[in-house]
């Protein structure tokens, strides 16, 4: 909860409709429609694979504890390597997590204290630009947080948390190395 620190007053749950085949995330609410707060119990059920949750990284003061760059499409690994190479050249630590589909990844950047979303997004844009990754010609999809500041509507965009056991057993939602090998001790790696 410290490393992947987002809003605590709201989180999202993944849902699927087997009849229509549709799926997505929605803010978690109790039976009376009141938003649920993010708790250690929610995190534990996520890790155990009993539910898949997402968090809202953009805090109420328009800062965030982390930034992530999302890559989807066939060239995701090549593009991640390019972006991570630019980060490394600039001595910016980052971490690669294969997404739940297995056909993409998040490159995570963690901050010691909350950083303006505007500033963190500028950093991400710089890394993407220096790596030559345009949205039209690469697997780059988006940056989390998705916006510089709140618009006054909603909670901002969410990002799915890693290490969900259901997907982890398939090798997904795990931190990996550049050879696509799962880091053997995920907990030690995150320390």
Q: 63-190: what fold?
A: Alpha-Beta Plaits (3.30.70)
Distance CA 120, CA 141 (A): 16
Q: What is the pLDDT of residue 131?
A: 95
**How many angstroms separate the CA atoms of 64 and 79, rounded?**
24
Q: How far apart are CA 65 and CA 116, in angstroms?
A: 9
Radius of gyration of the chain (CA): 16
Confidence of residue 136 (pLDDT cuts 50, 70, 90): confident
pLDDT (tens digit, 9 = 90+) per residue, 24-74? 999 999 999 999 999 999 999 999 999 999 999 999 999 999 999 999 988
Q: What Cα–Cα distance (Å) separates residue 50 from each residue in 12, 18, 119, 166? A: 14, 17, 35, 8
Q: Tell the residue number behind the tokens 């940056």, with chain if given.
A: 143
What is the rounded CA–CA span in Å between residue 135 and residue 56?
23
What would the two tokens of residue 133 be?
Answer: 């990754």
Mean pLDDT score of the chain: 95
CA 109 to chain centre: 10
Say whether 34 sits in a helix, a strand or coil: coil
Task: Kindly tell me if the per-residue pLDDT of 6 is higher than 90.
Answer: yes
**Residue spans per domain, the chain:** 12-55, 63-190
Q: Whole-model pTM above 0.85?
A: yes
């Amino acid at each position: 909860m410290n490393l992947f620190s987002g809003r605590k007053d709201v989180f999202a749950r993944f849902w699927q409709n087997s009849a229509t085949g549709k799926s997505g995330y929605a803010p978690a609410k109790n039976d009376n429609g009141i938003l649920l707060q993010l708790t250690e119990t929610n995190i534990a059920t996520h890790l155990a694979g009993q539910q898949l949750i997402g968090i809202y990284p953009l805090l109420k003061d328009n800062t965030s504890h982390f930034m992530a760059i999302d890559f989807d499409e066939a060239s995701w690994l090549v593009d991640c390597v390019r972006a991570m190479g630019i980060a490394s050249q600039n001595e910016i630590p980052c971490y690669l997590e294969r997404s739940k589909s297995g056909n993409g990844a998040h490159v995570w950047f963690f901050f010691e204290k909350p950083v303006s979303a505007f500033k963190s997004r500028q950093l991400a844009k710089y890394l993407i630009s220096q790596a030559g990754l345009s949205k039209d010609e690469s697997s780059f999809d988006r940056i989390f947080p998705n916006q510089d500041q709140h618009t006054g509507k909603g909670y901002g965009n969410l990002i799915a948390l890693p290490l969900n056991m259901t997907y982890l057993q398939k090798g997904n939602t795990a931190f990996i190395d550049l050879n696509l090998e799962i880091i053997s001790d995920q907990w030690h790696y995150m320390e």
